[in-house]
Amino acid sequence: MALQAKYQPLIDAAQAAGATNLQVRQQGTVLYIDGEVPSEDVKKQLWDKYNQIDPDYRSGDLVMNLNVIGGGTTTQMEEYTVVSGDSLSKIGQRYGVSWQKIYEANRDRIKNPDLIQPGWKLKIPKA
């Protein structure tokens, strides 16, 4: 499992940060890491670690889905389904939040903020 070896520092960091229900599996050429973290700060730290290993997330060989379960800085979210013609900016204007906040809330799905697909369900932070 070469991908697991590549991302082992990220897996170790998640375990050290108190991630629970951590599941790591490889399907084809993609490694999936799922689990629960105690705060938004921990989630951000793990995304930063991922960016250190794979700058700008260019490889496209990891999908990380981390849910915040603890008493950290959690944010209320709404769900929005992307329709044709949408952009993060348009969606942000509709909900009164910046496109950057939408992007941060959906980094597990959105690899390029300029490319979103109709049908995607996005988490929208409440303003």
CATH number at residue 86: 3.10.350.10
What's the gap between Cα 48 and its chain centre?
11
Burial label for 53, CB within 10 Å (0-12, 13-18, 19+), is middle
SS3 66: strand
What confidence category does residue 75 fall into, taking pLDDT thresholds of 50, 70 and 90?
low
Beta-carbon count within 10 A of 81 CB: 10
Mean pLDDT within 12-21: 91
Give residue 58's domain range: 2-68
Q: Do 4 and 12 meet the contact criterion of CB atoms below 8 Å apart?
A: no
Task: Write the pLDDT tens digit of every residue in 60-70.
Answer: 899 999 988 86
Domain co-membership, 48 together with 96: no
